[in-house]
Amino acid sequence: MRKFSVKILCPVVGAFLLSGFIAGSSLYAQSAAGASMHNKNDPWWRHAVFYEVYPRSFADSNNDGIGDLNGIASKLGYLHELGVDAIWITPCYPSPQKDFGYDVSDYENIDPMYGTLTDFDHLEQQARKDNIRIVMDFVMNHTSDQHPWFLDSRSSRTSAHRDWYIWRDGKADGQPPNNWISDFGGSAWTFDAKTGQYYYHYFEVAQPDLNWRNPAVEKAMFGVTRFWYGHGVAGFRLDAVDTLFEDPLLRNNPIGKDGEMINKYNDNLEENHVVLRRLRKVADSYDAVLIGETWTDNIQQLKQYYGANDDELQLPMNFMFTTINVLSAPKFRRQIGMMESSGEWPVWVISNHDMPRSYDRYGDGKHNDQIAKLMAALYLTLRGTPIMYYGEEIGMENNDPKRRQDVLDPLGKTGWPKNKGRDGERTPMQWNAEKNAGFTTGKPWLPIPPSYRTHNVATEMRDPNSILNFYRHLLELRHHNQALLYGDYVALNQNDPDVLSYLRRYRNQAVLVVLNMSGETRQVPLDLSPYGFGSGKATPLLSTLAIAPPSGHLTRVSLDPYSAYIAQVDLSESSQR
Ligand code: GLC
Ligand code: CA
């Protein structure tokens, strides 16, 4: 497959949360890097909140209109205060930028538009002081066609790097070797006149696939990870990890009933796992984490990426949520249930640089801010590791190009007008209500939507009911609440068509999460006795209800449209006996 007004209800809890924010830092430092770090059964990445930074769009330090590493360094204070433990930076290596960095021409350097290796080291050291780890993006499947390896490879059939890529003769009639199609459209094969053969590219023409069957490729690429571990990175997000291997016989892919190609022979091949096990060994020797861009059809396929002996990826992303494009309690419940039944540690994602922002995907045009909070309450209270996308926390919206000539993303150029590409979800971070949202004084590389005037960091910081403050409270809760850290997941009211409710249970305490995914007020019955909390006393932790129920025994709760209610449930001393 390829492709959410804060009210702190309880004054005591409120005071705690706020003091946490001010003390910043010390409270937070303990949870992020302290106790859990050296415990093998409870490694740091399990409770870390990851945050995806698209470097072109985060912060521009030299005002050329393009974000850069010094820009990211200047915003570490913000990320720290938000409650982020690790940032994943999408590719910032030297690149012709045909696919905005996912076409790498040198894996062991920084593109001058983003800075220098020295800037990277500075960023890494500064981040370390704030207990923020750095995860780099490892583009394993392909290089740029301008990478010296490919330049050599295409120079002659006998060049030293010829076999580093996948070259084949065309068919007798000159047609491509098989029917495989590129994710960017057209044949996945491009004819290179110089040597009279085709090369294979799962993605854009300028992104030739590496031949992972060649041990020299593995050696060089594993060396790249060692290089960055040497620069202090905490791990990698592995790009397009499902497409590393292709069928050696290059058999034609079958076509499904819907007329779409089924990528049987060039996606999710067994051989991927063999390489991942070896890559994990290297990662383990640096105590590093591997996150996967694991597009899978189902949970069984996803499960394989953890490795039969937990010896592959610690954090293969579950993209199933991102395929749900409507607010639907049954759909989310079902996906959570499947993930939970896999027995693996979940990785929750609702947005990234390849799909329309969650703000628009789930928003109904009228209650988008409410819905943004609702979605945040969902993926930040589930068992597992969440990966945020920059701007989600302020309710950034997609800003799709209006005219074809404005499109920058290669996918949008070929897909227009049906597919406007990914520019819309990659626009500059909105820092304040000033010119260019405070991102740059130059001309931003992509246009900023008008909503920046209300949806920006500075404005939302001042508003206690903002999406941003809701995220901050949620992240604070996640870092300190035992049930959210260690609790199991128990689905409640499993037949409710509108309200998603669950418990996170840990010993004598639980956190109750009730999310109204409908535009109507809903009465939700709460019988927690089957789960051992029938006599529990609920104390509201965080909610978007206009009037939340007071602390005490709860048998039902009334939920406003699109509201979220999160409460701590404790068993009293007497009921424990
Ligand atoms: C991944 C990236 C995407 C890129 C593609 C090719 O899917 O997330 O942005 O275009 O790989 O590298
Ligand atoms: Ca810049």
| Cα 68 to ligand 2 centroid, rounded to whole Å | 5
For the chain, helix (H) and strand (E) counts, in that order, are 17, 19
Spatial contact of 556 and 523, defined as CB atoms under 8 Å apart: yes
Residue 17 has what pLDDT? 37
Residue 295 alpha carbon, nearest atom of ligand 1:
7
Ligand 1 in reach of 517 Cβ (< 6 A): no
CA separation (Å) from 485 to 342, 480, 505? Answer: 19, 7, 10
Q: In this structure, which ligand is nearest to the CA of 439?
A: 2
* Span 547-569, average pLDDT: 94
Residue 24 has pLDDT above 70, yes or no: no
Q: What percent of the chain has pLDDT over 70?
A: 92
Residue 353 alpha carbon, nearest atom of ligand 1:
9
Measure the CA angle with vertex 166, ends 161 and 171; round to 5°. 130
* Span 333-351, average pLDDT: 98
Q: In this structure, which ligand is nearest to the CA of 183?
A: 1
d(CA 203, CA 388): 25
Residue 555 has pLDDT above 50, yes or no: yes
Q: Which of these ranges, 33-42, 287-296, 406-415, has the smallest mean pLDDT? A: 33-42
Residue 3 alpha carbon, nearest atom of ligand 1:
7
Tell me the pLDDT tens digit for each residue of 141-195. Answer: 999 999 999 999 999 999 999 999 999 999 999 999 999 999 999 999 999 999 9
Tell me the pLDDT tens digit for each residue of 95-134. Answer: 999 999 999 999 999 999 999 999 999 999 999 999 999 9
Residue 251 has what pLDDT? 98
**Residue 245 banded pLDDT, cuts 50, 70, 90:** very high
Tell me the pLDDT tens digit for each residue of 457-505. Answer: 999 999 999 999 999 999 999 999 999 999 999 999 999 999 999 999 9
Ligand 1 in reach of 58 Cβ (< 6 A): no
**Residue 548 banded pLDDT, cuts 50, 70, 90:** confident
Ligand 1 in reach of 204 Cβ (< 6 A): no
Helical residues (DSSP H) of 380-491, grouped into ranges? 410-415, 457-462, 467-480, 482-486
| Cα 207 to ligand 1 centroid, rounded to whole Å | 10
From the list 85, 293, 369, 570, the catalytic residue is 293
CA-proximal residue: ligand 1, atom 12 (nearest): 102
Residue 309 has what pLDDT? 97
Q: In this structure, which ligand is nearest to the CA of 52?
A: 1
Between residues 533 and 4, which one has the greater pLDDT?
Answer: 533
Q: Assess whether 293 carries a catalytic annotation.
A: yes
Tell me the pLDDT tens digit for each residue of 394-405. Answer: 999 999 999 999
Ligand 1 in reach of 305 Cβ (< 6 A): no
Ligand 1 in reach of 354 Cβ (< 6 A): yes
Pull the structure tokens for residue 443: 């001309």
Ligand 1 in reach of 239 Cβ (< 6 A): yes
**Residue 41 banded pLDDT, cuts 50, 70, 90:** confident
**Residue in 363, 355, 353, 354 with CA at minimum distance from that of residue 395:** 363
**Residue in 178, 167, 145 with CA at minimum distance from that of residue 213:** 167
Q: What percent of the chain has pLDDT over 90?
A: 90
Residue 142 alpha carbon, nearest atom of ligand 1:
12
Q: In this structure, which ligand is nearest to the CA of 409?
A: 1
The DSSP bridge partners found for residue 509 are: 506, 570
Q: Where are the beta strands (DSSP E) in 390-508?
A: 488-492, 499-506
Q: Assess whether 246 carries a catalytic annotation.
A: no
Ligand 1 in reach of 362 Cβ (< 6 A): no
Ligand 1 in reach of 99 Cβ (< 6 A): yes
Residue 250 has what pLDDT? 98
Residue 102 alpha carbon, nearest atom of ligand 1:
12
Pull the structure tokens for residue 338: 């499947």
CA-proximal residue: ligand 1, atom 2 (nearest): 239
d(CA 90, CA 55): 7
| Residue 213, C-beta contacts closer than 8 angstroms, at least 6 positions apart | 245, 248, 271
| Cα 52 to ligand 1 centroid, rounded to whole Å | 14
Ligand 1 in reach of 60 Cβ (< 6 A): no
Residue 308 has pLDDT above 90, yes or no: yes
**Residue 539 banded pLDDT, cuts 50, 70, 90:** very high
CA-proximal residue: ligand 1, atom 7 (nearest): 240
From the list 124, 239, 369, 423, the catalytic residue is 239
Residue 39 has what pLDDT? 65
CA dihedral sign, ordered 155, 156, 161, 167: positive
Residue 438 has pLDDT above 80, yes or no: yes
Ligand 1 in reach of 240 Cβ (< 6 A): yes
| Cα 437 to ligand 1 centroid, rounded to whole Å | 27
Q: What is the DSSP letter of 142?
A: B
Mean pLDDT score of the chain:
93
